[in-house]
Protein backbone atom coordinates (compact mmCIF):
# COMPACT_ATOMS: atom_id res chain seq x y z
CA UNK A 1 0.00 0.00 0.00
CA UNK A 2 3.01 2.32 0.51
CA UNK A 3 3.34 2.68 -3.26
CA UNK A 4 -0.30 3.71 -3.72
CA UNK A 5 -1.05 7.23 -4.94
CA UNK A 6 -2.78 9.76 -2.68
CA UNK A 7 -5.91 9.41 -4.80
CA UNK A 8 -5.88 5.61 -4.38
CA UNK A 9 -5.41 5.96 -0.63
CA UNK A 10 -8.32 8.39 -0.42
CA UNK A 11 -10.54 6.02 -2.40
CA UNK A 12 -9.62 3.21 0.01
CA UNK A 13 -10.32 5.50 2.97
CA UNK A 14 -13.80 6.14 1.54
CA UNK A 15 -14.49 2.41 1.90
CA UNK A 16 -13.48 2.53 5.56
CA UNK A 17 -9.80 1.62 5.24
CA UNK A 18 -8.34 3.52 8.21
CA UNK A 19 -4.82 2.28 7.41
CA UNK A 20 -4.98 3.95 3.99
CA UNK A 21 -6.02 7.25 5.57
CA UNK A 22 -3.24 6.85 8.15
CA UNK A 23 -0.69 6.53 5.36
CA UNK A 24 -2.09 9.67 3.73
CA UNK A 25 -1.68 11.48 7.06
CA UNK A 26 1.93 10.32 7.43
CA UNK A 27 2.73 11.50 3.89
CA UNK A 28 1.44 15.03 4.42
CA UNK A 29 1.65 15.68 8.15
CA UNK A 30 5.03 17.45 8.14
CA UNK A 31 4.11 19.71 5.23
CA UNK A 32 0.75 20.61 6.77
CA UNK A 33 2.46 21.37 10.11
CA UNK A 34 5.11 23.53 8.42
CA UNK A 35 2.45 25.47 6.53
CA UNK A 36 0.37 25.96 9.70
CA UNK A 37 3.46 26.99 11.70
CA UNK A 38 4.31 29.66 9.15
CA UNK A 39 0.77 30.94 9.03
CA UNK A 40 -0.03 30.90 12.75
CA UNK A 41 3.53 31.61 13.95
CA UNK A 42 2.99 29.18 16.81
CA UNK A 43 4.08 25.57 17.18
CA UNK A 44 1.18 24.81 19.52
CA UNK A 45 -1.41 26.28 17.16
CA UNK A 46 0.26 24.54 14.21
CA UNK A 47 -0.09 21.20 16.00
CA UNK A 48 -3.77 21.95 16.63
CA UNK A 49 -4.34 22.97 13.01
CA UNK A 50 -2.52 19.89 11.72
CA UNK A 51 -4.57 17.54 13.88
CA UNK A 52 -7.82 19.34 13.08
CA UNK A 53 -7.01 19.27 9.35
CA UNK A 54 -6.81 15.49 9.31
CA UNK A 55 -9.82 15.06 11.60
CA UNK A 56 -11.92 17.23 9.29
CA UNK A 57 -10.58 15.49 6.21
CA UNK A 58 -11.42 12.08 7.68
CA UNK A 59 -14.93 13.24 8.57
CA UNK A 60 -15.42 14.61 5.04
CA UNK A 61 -13.65 11.85 3.10
CA UNK A 62 -16.94 10.72 1.54
CA UNK A 63 -17.49 14.23 0.16
CA UNK A 64 -14.11 14.38 -1.63
CA UNK A 65 -15.21 14.48 -5.26
CA UNK A 66 -11.84 14.06 -6.94
CA UNK A 67 -11.88 17.36 -8.83
CA UNK A 68 -8.61 18.30 -7.14
CA UNK A 69 -5.64 16.35 -5.87
CA UNK A 70 -5.91 15.06 -2.29
CA UNK A 71 -2.96 17.16 -1.09
CA UNK A 72 -4.60 20.28 -2.58
CA UNK A 73 -7.77 19.45 -0.66
CA UNK A 74 -5.77 18.94 2.57
CA UNK A 75 -3.85 22.19 2.07
CA UNK A 76 -7.05 24.14 1.54
CA UNK A 77 -8.43 22.75 4.81
CA UNK A 78 -5.16 23.62 6.60
CA UNK A 79 -5.03 27.16 5.17
CA UNK A 80 -8.64 27.84 6.16
CA UNK A 81 -8.13 26.45 9.67
CA UNK A 82 -4.89 28.43 10.12
CA UNK A 83 -6.56 31.66 9.06
CA UNK A 84 -9.49 30.89 11.38
CA UNK A 85 -7.05 30.40 14.27
CA UNK A 86 -5.40 33.73 13.51
CA UNK A 87 -8.72 35.56 13.30
CA UNK A 88 -10.09 33.99 16.47
CA UNK A 89 -7.28 35.15 18.72
CA UNK A 90 -8.73 37.44 21.32
CA UNK A 91 -5.53 39.46 21.62
CA UNK A 92 -2.74 39.65 19.11
CA UNK A 93 0.31 38.27 20.84
CA UNK A 94 3.59 38.33 19.07
CA UNK A 95 5.48 35.09 19.35
CA UNK A 96 9.07 35.64 20.43
CA UNK A 97 11.83 34.40 18.18
CA UNK A 98 13.00 31.96 20.84
CA UNK A 99 9.69 30.06 20.55
CA UNK A 100 9.23 30.53 16.83
CA UNK A 101 9.16 27.09 15.14
CA UNK A 102 9.99 28.71 11.82
CA UNK A 103 13.35 30.01 13.06
CA UNK A 104 14.32 26.54 14.19
CA UNK A 105 13.45 25.13 10.76
CA UNK A 106 15.36 27.84 8.89
CA UNK A 107 18.49 27.31 10.96
CA UNK A 108 18.35 23.51 11.13
CA UNK A 109 20.64 23.12 8.13
CA UNK A 110 23.07 25.80 9.28
CA UNK A 111 23.87 24.77 12.87
CA UNK A 112 27.49 25.40 13.93
CA UNK A 113 29.70 22.40 13.50
CA UNK A 114 33.39 21.79 14.01
CA UNK A 115 35.41 24.42 12.20
CA UNK A 116 32.40 26.65 11.53
CA UNK A 117 32.68 30.37 12.24
CA UNK A 118 30.31 31.26 15.13
CA UNK A 119 29.94 34.84 13.86
CA UNK A 120 28.58 33.46 10.59
CA UNK A 121 25.95 31.51 12.54
CA UNK A 122 24.99 34.69 14.39
CA UNK A 123 24.66 36.55 11.07
CA UNK A 124 22.55 33.74 9.64
CA UNK A 125 20.26 33.86 12.69
CA UNK A 126 19.94 37.65 12.37
CA UNK A 127 19.09 37.32 8.68
CA UNK A 128 16.59 34.51 9.36
CA UNK A 129 14.91 36.59 12.09
CA UNK A 130 14.68 39.59 9.73
CA UNK A 131 13.28 37.42 6.94
CA UNK A 132 10.62 36.01 9.27
CA UNK A 133 9.75 39.51 10.48
CA UNK A 134 9.42 40.57 6.84
CA UNK A 135 7.16 37.63 6.06
CA UNK A 136 5.09 38.46 9.15
CA UNK A 137 4.68 42.04 7.92
CA UNK A 138 2.93 40.84 4.76
CA UNK A 139 -0.84 40.65 4.55
CA UNK A 140 -2.41 37.23 5.19
CA UNK A 141 -3.09 36.87 1.48
CA UNK A 142 0.46 37.64 0.34
CA UNK A 143 2.03 35.62 3.16
CA UNK A 144 -0.12 32.55 2.49
CA UNK A 145 0.56 32.66 -1.24
CA UNK A 146 4.30 33.17 -0.73
CA UNK A 147 4.51 30.26 1.70
CA UNK A 148 2.65 27.87 -0.57
CA UNK A 149 4.71 28.68 -3.65
CA UNK A 150 8.15 29.57 -2.28
CA UNK A 151 8.35 27.44 0.84
CA UNK A 152 6.38 24.38 -0.17
CA UNK A 153 7.29 24.60 -3.84
CA UNK A 154 3.75 24.39 -5.16
CA UNK A 155 3.10 25.51 -8.70
CA UNK A 156 0.99 28.57 -9.39
CA UNK A 157 -1.71 26.20 -10.64
CA UNK A 158 -1.70 24.21 -7.37
CA UNK A 159 -1.71 27.38 -5.24
CA UNK A 160 -4.54 28.70 -7.40
CA UNK A 161 -6.67 25.65 -6.58
CA UNK A 162 -5.89 25.82 -2.87
CA UNK A 163 -6.53 29.55 -2.54
CA UNK A 164 -9.37 29.81 -5.06
CA UNK A 165 -7.66 32.56 -7.06
CA UNK A 166 -6.64 32.73 -10.73
CA UNK A 167 -3.05 31.79 -11.60
CA UNK A 168 -2.36 35.36 -12.74
CA UNK A 169 -3.36 36.61 -9.30
CA UNK A 170 -1.04 34.07 -7.68
CA UNK A 171 1.84 35.29 -9.86
CA UNK A 172 1.11 38.91 -8.95
CA UNK A 173 0.95 38.06 -5.23
CA UNK A 174 4.34 36.33 -5.39
CA UNK A 175 5.84 39.30 -7.23
CA UNK A 176 4.33 41.75 -4.73
CA UNK A 177 5.41 39.68 -1.69
CA UNK A 178 8.98 39.47 -2.97
CA UNK A 179 9.05 43.20 -3.71
CA UNK A 180 7.86 44.01 -0.19
CA UNK A 181 10.29 41.56 1.39
CA UNK A 182 13.18 43.02 -0.57
CA UNK A 183 12.26 46.54 0.60
CA UNK A 184 11.87 45.29 4.19
CA UNK A 185 15.32 43.64 4.19
CA UNK A 186 16.97 46.59 2.43
CA UNK A 187 15.64 48.95 5.13
CA UNK A 188 17.39 46.74 7.69
CA UNK A 189 20.70 46.74 5.81
CA UNK A 190 20.46 43.13 4.72
CA UNK A 191 20.70 43.62 0.98
CA UNK A 192 17.15 42.55 0.26
CA UNK A 193 17.96 39.57 -1.92
CA UNK A 194 14.75 37.53 -2.03
CA UNK A 195 14.46 34.63 -4.45
Domains defined for the chain, CATH in brackets = 1-102 (1.10.1740.10), 118-195 (1.10.10.10)
**What percent of the chain lies above the pLDDT cut of 70?**
81
Count CB neighbours of 91 within 10 A. Answer: 4
pLDDT of residue 176: 97
Q: Where are the alpha helices (DSSP H) in the chain?
A: 6-14, 18-40, 43-59, 70-88, 101-107, 118-137, 140-146, 156-163, 167-187
- Distance, in Å, from the CA atom of 66 to the CA atom of 69, rounded to the nearest integer, reads 7
pLDDT of residue 91: 45
pLDDT of residue 152: 84
Between CA 126 and CA 138, with CA 153 as vertex, the angle to 5 degrees is 50
- Distance, in Å, from the CA atom of 176 to the CA atom of 183, rounded to the nearest integer, reads 11
pLDDT tens, residue by residue, 24-65: 999 999 999 999 998 888 899 999 999 999 999 999 999 988
Q: In angstroms, what is the C-alpha Rg of the chain?
A: 18
- Distance, in Å, from the CA atom of 97 to the CA atom of 113, rounded to the nearest integer, reads 22
pLDDT of residue 96: 46
pLDDT of residue 131: 86
Q: Output the pTM of the full model.
A: 0.73
Spatial contact of 185 and 131, defined as CB atoms under 8 Å apart: yes
Query: pLDDT of the chain along its 195 residues, tens only?
Result: 778 899 999 999 999 999 999 999 999 999 999 999 988 888 999 999 999 999 999 999 999 888 888 999 999 999 999 988 888 874 445 444 445 666 555 555 444 454 555 556 677 778 888 888 898 899 989 999 998 998 888 999 999 999 999 999 999 999 999 999 999 999 988 865 555
pLDDT of residue 180: 94
pLDDT of residue 128: 81
pLDDT of residue 89: 73
Amino acid sequence: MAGASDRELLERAKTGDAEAFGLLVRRHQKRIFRLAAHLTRSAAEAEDVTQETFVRAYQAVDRFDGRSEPFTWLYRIAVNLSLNHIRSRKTRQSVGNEDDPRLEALLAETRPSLGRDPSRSTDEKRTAEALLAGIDSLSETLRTTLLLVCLDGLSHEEASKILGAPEGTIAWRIHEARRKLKAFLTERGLGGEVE
